[in-house]
C-alpha cells in the first residue's frame, strides 16, 4: 500500500493518493523515517524493547519446545523442568507468546472433533407429509410442580394431529403418542417425516428406533438454535396467550379438560393468519376450494355495490400457501407456522361443501397405568 503511494505519478498529490487508498498521511510519514540497521527500530519507527530476545535466543526456545523430550509437554512443564536443571531460556509468558506467533498455542492432547450439524430443510406440499412436535411445561398450583403438554402438528395445514398431557416427560410416552397417531392416520412407511428438537425424549434411542421401524424419517433441530422448530413454538405461544389460559392448573384433569376445548377451537374455529384466515381443519380436510368460492362471491358482491372503496380493483380471495417450509433455500421465502391434533378416522382430502359441521371427535392419548405391565401409559377415547 505504501509502495503504491510512493510510486504514484508526479501530478498526483500525496493527499489525493492517501484519500484514494484510505491511508492516513501520518502513516506515510512514519514509514519514510530512516530505519536502524541494528534492528532496534521497527519499520514503523517505534523502538524495539531492549528486553526482546534475539533471533538466536528465540530459535533456541523453539528448538527446545519442539524437541522429542518436550514436544508433548506444556510450556509450564518445560519451564519447570528446565529450572530444576539449572537452565533458564525465557519467561513462561514468552514461551506462550512465541508459540502463539507460530500458531502453536493449542491443546496438544487429542480432542473430540466438533460436530457440524446440517441445517434442517423441510417442505410440505400436502397433509401428513411432515409433522413437527415438541413438549412444553404447564405450571400447577404447587410451586415447582409442572405438567407436560405434548403437541404434534401437521406442517402443511397447522392441524394439531395429536396431543397429550402427562406428569412426566420421557421417551416411553412419546413412543405411545406416535404409535397411536401413525396407526390412527394410517400413515404408510416412507411417506412421513417428523421434525423435532434435541430434547431427551426426541433423541432417545428407543424413540428414534420406533420411528425407523414405522418407516418415518426423523429430522432434528441444530443444538442451541431456537428457530429450527418455529411452528411448534408458535403453537405453544398461541396456547399460553389465550385470554382464558389459567396460567396454573389445579391438576392433570383440569389441564386435559382445558386443552381439549382449546384444541377443538384451534383446529375447527381458529382463522389462522398463516392460512389466509382459513382454519387448520379446512386445509387439512381439503375444504379450501369450496370455501374460497363462497368468500369470492361475498367479495364480488361488495365490489359491485361499492367499487370506489376498492382502490386496487376487484378483490381476490387469498389462499393458503401451496408449500410450507422450514429453513427454505430461498433466503427471503416466507415461513409459515404450524400446528396439529390426533383425530379418529380421517376424512378423505377432497373438497366438501361448507356445512359448518365440526370435524370428527379427537382421540387423545393419555398417560395411565393400564396399558403396559411395567406401567406407564394407556389410550383413552373421549366421548364426542
Share of the chain above pLDDT 90, in %: 65
Name the DSSP class of 323.
Answer: -
Residues 163, 45 share a domain: no
Average pLDDT over residues 45-62: 84
Is the pLDDT reported for residue 352 higher than 70? no
Q: Give the lowest-confidence range in 161-170, 299-308, 336-345.
A: 336-345
Q: Give the lowest-confidence range in 221-225, 250-254, 267-271.
A: 221-225
The answer to whether residue 63 sits within a structural domain is: no
User: Which own/partner pairs from 224-229 qualify as long-range (CB within 8 Å, at least 24 positions apart)?
Assistant: 228/119, 228/120, 228/197, 228/326, 228/327, 229/132, 229/134, 229/195, 229/196, 229/197, 229/326
The answer to whether residue 315 sits within a structural domain is: no
Q: Give the lowest-confidence range in 76-80, 126-130, 266-270, 339-343.
A: 339-343
Measured in whole angstroms, the distance separating CA 117 from the mean position of its chain's CA atoms is 11
Whichever domain contains 143, its CATH number is 3.30.420.10
The predicted structure's pLDDT at residue 118: 87
The predicted structure's pLDDT at residue 363: 43
Residues 268, 159 share a domain: yes
Would you report the helix, strand and coil content of the chain in percent, each value rounded to 5? 35, 15, 50
Residue 218 pLDDT class (50, 70, 90 cuts)? very high
The answer to whether residue 57 sits within a structural domain is: no
Residues 254, 144 share a domain: yes
Q: Give the lowest-confidence range in 10-24, 39-53, 281-295.
A: 39-53
Is the pLDDT reported for residue 360 higher than 80? no
Q: Which of 233, 64, 225 is nearest to 136 (CA)?
A: 233
Average pLDDT over residues 171-190: 93
Residues 267, 142 share a domain: yes
Name the DSSP class of 41.
Answer: B
Residue of higher predicted confidence among 34 and 298: 298
The answer to whether residue 145 sits within a structural domain is: yes
Parent domain of 372: 122-286+336-380
The 10s digit of each residue's pLDDT in 94-152 is: 999 999 998 888 776 667 777 788 899 999 999 999 999 999 999 999 999 999 999 99
Mean pLDDT over the full length of the chain:
83
Q: Give the lowest-confidence range in 120-124, 222-226, 288-292.
A: 222-226
The predicted structure's pLDDT at residue 40: 53
The answer to whether residue 179 sits within a structural domain is: yes
Residues 264, 133 share a domain: yes
The predicted structure's pLDDT at residue 228: 92
Q: What is the DSSP string of 211-273?
A: HHHTT-EEEEPPTT-GGGSHHHHHHHHHHHTSTT--SSBSSHHHHHHHHHHHHHHHHHT--BG
The answer to whether residue 79 sits within a structural domain is: no
Q: Are 362 and 264 in contact (CB under 8 A)?
A: yes
Q: Which residues contact 284 (CB under 8 A, 6 or more apart)?
A: 127, 154, 156, 157, 159, 267, 349
Cell numbers that stand for 323 in this block: 408449500
Rg (CA), the chain: 34
Q: Are 221 and 120 in contact (CB under 8 A)?
A: yes
The answer to whether residue 70 sits within a structural domain is: no
Dist. CA 17–CA 24, nearest whole Å: 10
Residues 4, 145 share a domain: no
Is the pLDDT reported for residue 383 higher than 60? no
The predicted structure's pLDDT at residue 245: 96
Question: Which residue, 10, 26, 52, sits at the end of a domain?
Answer: 52
Residues 347, 246 share a domain: yes
Domains in the chain: how many in total? Answer: 2
Residues 160, 18 share a domain: no
Dist. CA 245–CA 116, nearest whole Å: 40
Residue 365 pLDDT class (50, 70, 90 cuts)? very low
Average pLDDT over residues 262-284: 95
Most confident residue range from 32-46, 265-279, 359-373: 265-279
- Give me the phi and psi of 162, to 5 degrees please: -160, 145
Question: Which residue, 52, 70, 87, sits at the end of a domain?
Answer: 52
The answer to whether residue 172 sits within a structural domain is: yes
Share of the chain above pLDDT 70, in %: 81
Average pLDDT over residues 253-269: 95
Taking phi over 0 as left and psi of -120 to 50 as alpha, with beta for the rest, 103 belongs to left
The predicted structure's pLDDT at residue 343: 42
Is the pLDDT reported for residue 44 higher than 60? no
The predicted structure's pLDDT at residue 369: 30
Q: Which of 335, 138, 382 is nearest to 249 (CA)?
A: 138
Dist. CA 351–CA 177, nearest whole Å: 29
Amino acid at each position: 500500500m505504501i509502495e503504491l503511494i510512493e510510486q504514484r505519478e508526479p501530478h498526483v498529490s500525496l493527499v489525493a493518493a492517501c484519500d484514494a487508498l484510505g491511508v492516513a498521511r501520518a502513516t506515510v510519514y512514519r514509514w519514510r523515517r530512516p530505519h536502524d540497521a541494528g534492528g532496534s527500530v521497527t519499520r514503523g519507527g517505534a523502538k524495539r524493547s531492549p528486553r526482546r530476545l534475539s533471533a538466536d535466543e528465540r530459535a533456541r526456545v523453539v528448538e527446545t519446545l519442539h524437541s522429542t523430550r518436550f514436544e508433548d509437554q506444556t510450556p509450564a512443564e518445560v519451564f519447570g523442568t528446565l529450572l530444576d536443571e539449572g537452565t533458564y531460556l525465557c519467561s513462561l509468558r514468552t514461551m506462550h507468546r512465541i508459540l502463539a506467533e507460530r500458531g502453536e498455542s493449542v491443546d496438544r492432547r487429542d480432542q473430540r472433533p466438533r460436530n457440524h450439524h446440517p441445517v434442517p430443510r423441510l417442505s410440505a406440499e400436502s397433509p401428513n407429509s411432515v409433522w413437527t412436535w415438541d413438549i412444553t411445561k404447564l405450571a400447577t398450583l404447587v410451586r415447582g410442580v409442572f405438567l407436560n403438554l405434548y403437541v404434534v402438528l401437521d406442517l402443511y395445514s397447522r392441524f394439531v394431529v395429536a396431543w397429550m398431557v402427562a406428569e412426566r416427560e420421557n421417551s416411553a410416552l412419546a413412543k405411545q403418542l406416535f404409535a397411536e397417531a401413525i396407526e390412527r392416520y394410517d400413515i404408510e412407511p416412507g411417506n412421513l417425516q417428523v421434525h423435532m428438537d434435541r430434547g431427551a425424549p426426541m433423541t432417545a434411542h428407543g424413540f428414534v428406533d420406533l420411528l425407523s421401524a414405522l418407516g418415518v424419517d426423523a429430522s432434528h433441530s441444530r443444538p442451541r438454535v431456537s428457530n429450527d422448530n418455529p411452528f411448534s413454538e408458535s403453537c405453544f405461544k398461541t396456547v399460553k396467550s389465550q385470554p382464558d389460559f389459567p396460567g396454573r392448573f389445579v391438576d392433570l384433569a383440569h389441564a386435559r379438560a382445558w386443552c381439549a376445548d382449546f384444541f377443538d377451537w384451534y383446529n375447527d374455529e381458529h382463522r389462522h393468519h398463516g392460512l389466509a384466515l382459513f382454519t387448520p381443519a379446512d386445509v387439512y380436510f381439503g375444504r379450501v376450494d369450496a370455501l374460497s368460492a363462497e368468500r369470492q362471491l361475498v367479495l364480488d358482491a361488495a365490489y359491485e355495490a361499492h367499487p370506489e372503496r376498492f382502490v386496487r380493483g376487484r378483490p381476490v380471495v387469498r389462499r393458503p400457501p401451496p408449500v410450507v417450509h422450514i429453513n427454505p433455500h430461498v433466503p427471503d421465502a416466507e415461513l409459515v407456522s404450524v400446528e396439529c391434533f390426533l383425530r379418529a378416522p380421517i376424512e378423505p382430502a377432497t373438497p366438501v361443501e361448507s356445512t359448518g359441521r365440526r370435524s370428527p371427535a379427537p382421540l387423545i392419548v393419555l398417560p395411565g397405568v393400564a396399558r403396559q405391565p411395567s406401567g406407564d401409559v394407556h389410550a383413552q377415547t373421549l366421548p364426542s
